[in-house]
């Protein structure tokens, strides 16, 4: 019993004392902007992607999707007006989240719409869309309006509550999700010969569909450049799931992760994937050990320890 109590206390410290809520408003705003951008990009093609007069009928989607795949769009007429109203609602929820108005409700609504749109046309989605919807779900459990929020300005008893570390336990869920992604991709890469012999990034640079921004593909024609990029990617993806939990090196691990994603963003066109991943990495930020601690702490919403809450 004593040992169980110790484990439980350690787990409670992990959940209720380790997360800093000051990053939450930053993540909320960043996420809302990303959802707005992806929705605006989808808007002109709403009919093409999400109606029966477009490129994929609902009947076909049901055939090729896994069981249990649901979408609110199946409940409505399959026409452009309906789809644009739904897309407009998604953008409305994202805009309200951006402003910090009842953001947890907006997160829940965004989650439902993202699942609905992604399940209606799984052929246009990729990894970033998975992160979008899981992040939306996890945002439901965060005190999203704890800073930079129009909602919080209303002086009600509820909104006067200032979240502390104990209220930021939802950040642990985002951290677990990020760790899962890095660990999974690192393990998947161990099965590939090109990741071991250092040629994987050379192959990636030949993907004319996705590759092609600031870094020319000829840069990787020299074997050593491809080897550094390949093994560097592998090293970072293996180290992040461990290093992000070790507090003294956590911020350096975050910087390594940001460097990886910015490097990919500079060389590849993967839409918003790198940005949602960088947003997820922010959940680990340790302001107490931040290199620019003073300015960061001054600018961020104030933390209040939960023990002093009324």
Partner 1 sequence: MEKRGRPKIVNLLIRAFVIVFAIAVGVDVIPDSWVSHSVIRTHVRRGLGYLGLAQGEWSLFAPNPGMRTGFIVGEVRDGAGNIAVWKSPDWSQQGIATKFLKFRYLNYYQRTVLNREASNDLADYLQRSIPTREKVEPGIRLTDDLTIVPSDPIVPPIKQVILHHHHPLINLAYEEPIPKPTELVTTETDRYLVKRDYPK
First-to-final CA distance of the chain? 32
- Beta carbon of residue 26, minimum distance to partner 1 (angstroms, whole number): 22
Of 252 and 271, CB closest to partner 1: 271
- Beta carbon of residue 292, minimum distance to partner 1 (angstroms, whole number): 30
- Beta carbon of residue 299, minimum distance to partner 1 (angstroms, whole number): 26
- Given 2, 3, 157, 191, the residue binding partner 1 (CB under 8 A): 191
- Given 132, 139, 169, 275, the residue binding partner 1 (CB under 8 A): 169
Of 101 and 278, CB closest to partner 1: 278
Q: Does 289 bind partner 1 (CB under 8 A)?
A: no
* Helix, coil or strand: residue 285: coil
Of 230 and 251, CB closest to partner 1: 230
Q: How far is 61 from 118, CA to CA, in rounded Å?
A: 11
Q: Which long-range contacts (CB under 8 A, 24 or more apart) does 70-73 make?
A: 70/115, 70/116, 70/119, 71/115, 71/116, 71/117, 71/119, 71/120, 72/112, 72/113, 72/116, 73/116, 73/117, 73/120
Helical axes 247-267 vs 223-243, angle rounded to 10°:
140
Q: Does 75 bind partner 1 (CB under 8 A)?
A: no
CB 163 within 8 A of CB 146: yes
Q: Which two tokens stand for residue 277?
A: 């991943």
- Given 151, 189, 238, 287, the residue binding partner 1 (CB under 8 A): 189
Contacts (CB under 8 A) with partner 1, residues 91-110: none
Q: How many residues bind partner 1 (CB under 8 A)?
A: 79
Q: In 3D, which of 71, 53, 184, 49 has the Cα closest to residue 123?
A: 49
Q: Does 173 bind partner 1 (CB under 8 A)?
A: yes
Q: Which stretch binds partner 1 (CB under 8 A): 82-90, 176-184, 254-262, 279-287?
A: 176-184
Q: Does 5 bind partner 1 (CB under 8 A)?
A: no
Q: How far is 84 from 61, CA to CA, in rounded Å?
A: 19
Q: How far is 165 from 54, CA to CA, in rounded Å?
A: 48
- Beta carbon of residue 91, minimum distance to partner 1 (angstroms, whole number): 16
Q: How far is 303 from 263, CA to CA, in rounded Å?
A: 33
- Given 22, 96, 107, 137, the residue binding partner 1 (CB under 8 A): 137
Of 35 and 115, CB closest to partner 1: 115
Of 79 and 190, CB closest to partner 1: 190
Q: Does 68 bind partner 1 (CB under 8 A)?
A: yes
Contacts (CB under 8 A) with partner 1, residues 45-64: 45, 49, 53-57, 60, 63-64
- Beta carbon of residue 189, minimum distance to partner 1 (angstroms, whole number): 4
Of 116 and 149, CB closest to partner 1: 116
Q: Which two tokens stand for residue 146?
A: 């704890």
CA 206 to each of CA 24, 197, 216, 265: distance values in angstroms, whole numbers, following the listed order: 38, 17, 10, 16
- Given 10, 41, 246, 255, the residue binding partner 1 (CB under 8 A): 41
Task: Build a one-symbol-per-residue string for 192-231: x at contacts with partner 1 by CB under 8 A, - elsewhere.
Answer: xxxx-x-xx-xxx-xxxxx-xx----x-xx-x--x-----
Torsion of CA 31, 142, 107, 41, to 10 degrees: 10
Of 218 and 295, CB closest to partner 1: 218
């Amino acid at each position: 019993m004593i040992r169980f109590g110790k484990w439980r206390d350690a787990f409670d410290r992990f959940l209720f004392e380790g997360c800093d809520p000051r990053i939450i408003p930053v993540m909320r705003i960043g996420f809302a902007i990303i959802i707005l951008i992806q929705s605006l990009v989808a808007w002109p093609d709403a009919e093409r992607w999400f109606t029966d007069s477009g490129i994929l009928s609902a009947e076909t989607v049901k055939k090729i999707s896994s069981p249990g795949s649901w979408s609110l769009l199946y409940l409505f007429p399959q026409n452009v007006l309906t789809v644009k109203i739904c897309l407009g609602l998604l953008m409305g929820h994202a805009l309200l989240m951006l402003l910090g108005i009842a953001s947890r409700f907006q997160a829940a609504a965004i989650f439902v719409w993202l699942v609905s749109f992604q399940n209606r046309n799984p052929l246009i989605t990729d990894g970033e869309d998975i992160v979008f919807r899981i992040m939306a779900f996890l945002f439901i459990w965060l005190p999203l309006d704890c800073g930079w929020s129009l909602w919080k300005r209303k002086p009600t008893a509820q909104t006067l509550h200032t979240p502390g570390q104990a209220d930021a336990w939802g950040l642990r869920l985002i951290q677990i999700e990020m760790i899962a992604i890095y660990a999974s991709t690192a393990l998947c890469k161990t099965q590939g010969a090109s990741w071991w012999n250092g040629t994987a990034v050379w192959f990636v640079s030949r993907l004319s569909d996705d590759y092609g921004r600031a870094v020319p593909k000829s840069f990787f024609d020299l074997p050593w450049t491809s080897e550094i990029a390949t093994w560097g990617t592998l090293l970072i993806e293996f180290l992040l799931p461990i290093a992000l939990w070790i507090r003294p090196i956590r911020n350096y691990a975050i910087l390594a992760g940001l460097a990886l994603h910015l490097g990919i963003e500079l060389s590849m066109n993967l839409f918003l994937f790198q940005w949602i991943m960088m947003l997820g990495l922010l959940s680990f930020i340790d302001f107490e050990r931040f290199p620019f601690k003073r300015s960061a702490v001054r600018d961020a919403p104030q933390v209040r320890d939960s023990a002093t809450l009324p």
